[in-house]
Structure 1
Amino acid sequence: WFWDITSLKRLHLRGCELSGTFPDELGNLTLLETFDVQGNNIQGMIPATLKNMCNLRSLGLSFNNIGGGITEVIDRIPNCSRKNLQELALMDANITGTTLQFVTNLTSLYVLNVHGNQLSGSVPVEIGTLANLTYLNLGNNTLSGSVPAEIGTLTSLTHLYLGRNNLSGLISEDHFAGLMNLESLDLSSNNLDVIVDSHWMPPFNLESAWFSSCHLGPQFPKWLRWQKSTKILHISNTGLVGKIPYWFWTTFSDATYLDISLNHLSGNLPLNLEFMSVIKLLMQSNLLTGLIPKLSRTTEILDISRNSLNGFVPNFQAPQLRAAALFSNSITGTIPKTICRMQKLRVLDLSNNLLSKELPDCGIKELKQGNPSSNNSSKVRSLRYFSLRITSFLLSNNSFSSGFPLFLRQCPRLVFLDLTQNKFTGELPGWISEAMPGLVMLRLRSNKFSGHIPVEIMGLQDVRILDLSNNNFSGAIPKCLEKLKALTHTSTSNNMSFDNPFEEGYRSSMSMSSSLSNDSFLVVIKGQLLEYRENTLYLMSIDLSCNSLI
């Protein structure tokens, strides 16, 4: 009955779970100006009966399985509407082709989105004829060759996305000459050299910029200093060398996402970044030295791993921090006591550092400072109320000493605990399973723990990785190993539900901070050093070797 409503001008069927093919009767709607069927499961080419839709202004076919070549798709658009078509959305539609020359016939386009297809060939110089274009997205295809300078004549352009292609060659001032309205630019994941004069002042003020894997260096681009409206900046792996300029932190003080990782940036960081608005700050794999600064109240994710930082500033603060990757630095001393006040912290990776002594005990005094509204209840209830929310705590390859950390009594939500390769001593306490009932991974390998393995540890019903190897444990292996219920299950990997404790912990801890670059760990199994990444989800292991057990 739909196709009898021939007076329709606008038809929006986005995300309606439609399937099958386009019906030929679609051509009955000759007055249609807007046709949007994005986000369905429609398969096959649009019908040739569209030839009578001479009023078509907007065609949205994204997120379907159109298939076929781009030339065939364009041929199905009515000739009589091509010069009036203002919006063409073909994102993730499984379209192939080696030419984008069709753009010369669509001179009225405001929006062109062919992101996420299999288009190859080059970006045609005729792109400059689309004078009305405000949004151009050619990203995530296999386009090659250079970017034509004619793109710089599109004075109305606000969004330009060319990322994730095979583009190469030079990007110069000419490519940006007329883009005074540009707000968002993506050139990432190409082989492009962005070379502009050191005194060049861009005509635009970007809100978001992606340059990852382009070549911007070796000097830090001075033109970025004028981008004071930028909220998102990605300049990772861009060949930058030397110190981060002093103006960087003030210019991007209002940015929420900063990624300067995988460069050769050196020198010390400012000791105080509390004035910034950044939520996600990525600086891993550089040559940074000095102290880890006080962070903004807005910062939730910090990755400063694989640098040469040597400690924390006094009274280190990060009140909103949820995930911190600080591994593979040269951090000495102890973990700051202010961690006891980080009530939102979920993931903390300090492995491969030079930390020593013992962990803060997070006594009631420290915890109350993070929860000033507390009442005068009993100490036991208070400690439970003030418990931390850490789910992933990784401290391997440091020099921590003393007994099993009392700090962990305040971590009832812990899922992943790795204390391998330290100098912890003494016996394991019986409260491990009571204080951390949801542990899925408990790794204590290569320490100096001694005594009997407590029977209570077998109360960890969710544990799948239990590594107590290379310590000084003695006595009999507990006979109640069968209480480790998760290790007796045989669920297949394809049927693991989200309420599975390992998957839930894995997603909340690791996937929450997918940018954190230490999403793997090493396991010694039968003398082999094996690296596990996403497949950690399916590993089950007990290792009690290299002790004095009977």
Structure 2
Amino acid sequence: MKKLGFLYSNLKGNIPTGIGTLQSLKLLSLGFNKLNGSNVLSIFNISTLEILDLRNAGLTGTIPNEIGHLHNLKKFGIEQNALADSIPLTIFNISSLQVLSIWDNKLEGPLPREVGNLTMLNLLDLGINNLTGMIPDEIGNLQELLDLQLDSNNFSGSIPISNISTLASISLTDNHISGYLDYNNFTASIPSTLWNLKDILKKNLSSNFFNGSLALEVGNLQAAMLPDLSWDQISERPGNGFCKFSSFANKFSNYDKSENLKVLHLGDNNIGGVIPSSISNSSNLKELRLYDNKFSGPIPNSLGNLRQLKLLKLFNNCLSSLDSSIFTSLANCRSLIHIDFSYNPLNGVLPDSICNLSTSLELFYLQHSEMRGNIPLGIENLSNLNTLFLLENNLNGSLPRTFCNLLNLQVLVLHQNRLIRPLPYCLCQLLELGWIDFSYNQLSGPIPNCIGSVTSLRNIYLNSNRLTDIPMSLWSLKDLLDFDLSNNSLVGSLPLDFGNLNAITAIDLSRNCLSGSIPTTVGDLLELLHLSLAYNELQGSIPESLGKMISLESANLSNNILSVKEKQNASDYTFAIDSFIDGTCLNHCVHVEET
């Protein structure tokens, strides 16, 4: 017998000792079972084994030294068990090994220098363990290595991989490395030799604190993706073979193969200076992410030459655009799906040219960008738009009725502008709308009566306006999760239908002119966590049902004319009723009126 497989066979208990007598066996698979491993040593007598699969087999204890007896072994998978202690040195005597996968165990101690003996290795995966110390220089001897996974350990020091020209995938996330990759504390510059690894498709260098800058040799990367450097902190300290980011443009003007670039991600760094217009030489660029940096000056209009661009994220910099001309240029990018210029001092009028952007545009973020003027009528041309953020600007005038033709719109956020007049009734045509936020504007008049027909609504924020009436249809939105209509001029009473909002978790109707009593159906709001009816003209007794709402975390009923009659037992209330002090609500509070 040469092959024996029990993969996913629901085996339990000991490994049968008889397996050790199969001296011609080349493949043994016992993975994804519930073995206890007490007879595992018998397996290591089968010197002919080439493939040993013990993945997720329920094994505990340690990897025995006898593993070294399997001198013909090519593939060894023992991941997702509960093996502890150190990696036995004997495993590194198996020079035929091509795959060594021991991830997700409880191994500890250093990675031995003898790892350099495994010169045939294609995959080395030791992730999700408790390995410590420095990654040994001998790992650079693995000239056949394609995939290196050392993530989620406690490695420190630098990474000696620059001599491995075959690497296609590297993951060193969640360590304490002074070299590259996620959630590490990098203290060294990125070595220029790294960029000579021409076959690497993607390197994740995110969430680190780089001390240094990218090497000029970055242009040697000829695969589809440049490194993902998100969350890095790259300073501008020059070093041997490195360039300051003040000469950031050199990376493009000197890069004669920039047409190969498809993704450039340098977000979350401290890169300054201007964005070079020569970036448009990367004619096949599809994603450009330069957000959360210190770029300044104008956004280069040459970005409009990137005809294949789909995603452009430049938010949180110090960028500008003369006469908002960037939008005219970007009209040439007919594949654009996502634009984010938020938190830049664009300081201009929102131009009609945004209406000429690609009809494929789905997400458009222009938050806190010092834009002013009216929302252009032609915005209806962005027919596939599903998310629009224009909040925290100085936009004025009314919401154009052409908005109502954006039938794919799901998220509409325009809070903290200077919009006036009533909301157009035709907004009820947007049957995909789930989130609407017009808070902190100057809207007036009633909320449209038809709002109840937009059953997709989950979040409504219309607080701090001059709205006057709540339509009855609002109480029919049974899937509504959160609404805030505070600080308006709302009048009238709360109907019994108040209790129809089955999914609601937060209601804020404070600082209005609501009168009448709190409907007893408030107790039907079983998912309600936060309720504020403060600063109204509500009167009468507080419904006992309110006091029995187990889910309720905060209830502010202060500054009304409410009472708890003495015949009502105050202990029935799950919130405190004695915290009303000088008109201020502390914790859960109501005013108690003795009768």
The normalised TM-score by structure 2 is: 0.67
Q: Size of the alignment, in residue pairs?
A: 474
Q: Which residue of 2 aligns with 1:361?
A: 425
Matches within 5 A, 1:329-348: 329-333=393-397, 340-348=404-412
* Structure 2 portions without partners, runs of 5+: 7-15, 173-180, 237-244, 295-316, 536-550, 564-595
Q: Which residue of 2 aligns with 1:239?
A: 270
Q: Which residue of 2 aligns with 1:433?
A: 475
Q: Which residue of 2 aligns with 1:67?
A: 84
User: CA offsets, 1:270-326, max 9 Å, x none?
Assistant: 313673656666665555555595665666556654554557666345555555555
Q: Does 1:419 align with 2:462?
A: yes
Contact 1:113/1:138, CA 8 A, preserved across alignment: yes
Change in CA separation of 1:114 and 1:321 when aligned onto 2, cut-off 3 Å: farther
**Secondary structure at 1:73 match in 2:** coil
Contact 2:92/2:117, CA 8 A, preserved across alignment: no
Change in CA separation of 1:168 and 1:545 when aligned onto 2, cut-off 3 Å: same
User: Counterpart amino acid of 1:458?
Assistant: G
User: Counterpart amino acid of 1:428?
Assistant: I
User: Counterpart amino acid of 1:109?
Assistant: L
Q: Which residue of 1 aligns with 2:435?
A: 392
Contact 2:262/2:284, CA 8 A, preserved across alignment: no
Contact 2:377/2:402, CA 8 A, preserved across alignment: no
Q: CA deviation at 1:412?
A: 0.6
Change in CA separation of 1:241 and 1:326 when aligned onto 2, cut-off 3 Å: farther
Q: Distance in 1 between matches of 2:502 and 2:114?
A: 62
2:100 to 88, 103, 114: 88
User: Counterpart amino acid of 1:362?
Assistant: C
Change in CA separation of 1:523 and 1:433 when aligned onto 2, cut-off 3 Å: closer
Q: Which residue of 2 aligns with 1:175?
A: 194
Q: Distance in 1 between matches of 2:449 and 2:273?
A: 42
* Higher-RCO chain (CA-CA 8 Å, sequence separation at least 6): 1
**Secondary structure at 1:91 match in 2:** coil
Change in CA separation of 1:77 and 1:100 when aligned onto 2, cut-off 3 Å: closer
Q: Which residue of 1 aligns with 2:584?
A: none
Contact 1:111/1:135, CA 8 A, preserved across alignment: yes
Change in CA separation of 1:523 and 1:463 when aligned onto 2, cut-off 3 Å: closer
**Secondary structure at 1:168 match in 2:** coil
Q: Does 1:475 align with 2:492?
A: no
Q: Does 1:97 align with 2:106?
A: no
Contact 1:58/1:87, CA 8 A, preserved across alignment: yes
**Secondary structure at 1:95 match in 2:** strand
Q: CA deviation at 1:408?
A: 3.5
Aligned residues: CA RMSD: 4.0
User: CA offsets, 1:340-375, max 9 Å, x none?
Assistant: 455554444444444444444336xxxxxxxxxxxx
**Secondary structure at 2:193 match in 1:** helix
Q: Distance in 2 between matches of 1:360 and 1:406?
A: 11
User: Counterpart amino acid of 1:402?
Assistant: G
Q: Which residue of 2 aligns with 1:262?
A: 292
Contact 2:73/2:97, CA 8 A, preserved across alignment: yes
2:503 to 462, 468, 471: 462
Q: Which residue of 1 aligns with 2:312?
A: none
User: Counterpart amino acid of 2:504?
Assistant: V
Q: Distance in 2 between matches of 1:27 and 1:404?
A: 76
2:73 to 56, 69, 74: 56
* Structure 1 portions without partners, runs of 5+: 364-382, 489-521, 528-537
Q: Distance in 2 between matches of 1:108 and 1:194?
A: 34
The normalised TM-score by structure 1 is: 0.72
Change in CA separation of 1:119 and 1:78 when aligned onto 2, cut-off 3 Å: closer
Q: CA deviation at 1:128?
A: 2.2
Q: CA deviation at 1:444?
A: 1.2
Q: Which residue of 1 aligns with 2:126?
A: 114
User: Counterpart amino acid of 2:135?
Assistant: V
User: Counterpart amino acid of 2:378?
Assistant: N
Q: Which residue of 2 aligns with 1:185?
A: 203
Q: CA deviation at 1:449?
A: 1.5
Q: Percent identity of the aligned residues?
A: 26
Which has the larger displacement, 470-479 or 46-55?
46-55
**Secondary structure at 1:417 match in 2:** strand
Change in CA separation of 1:146 and 1:37 when aligned onto 2, cut-off 3 Å: same
Change in CA separation of 1:233 and 1:321 when aligned onto 2, cut-off 3 Å: farther
User: CA offsets, 1:218-249, max 9 Å, x none?
Assistant: 54565367555555544222112355444557
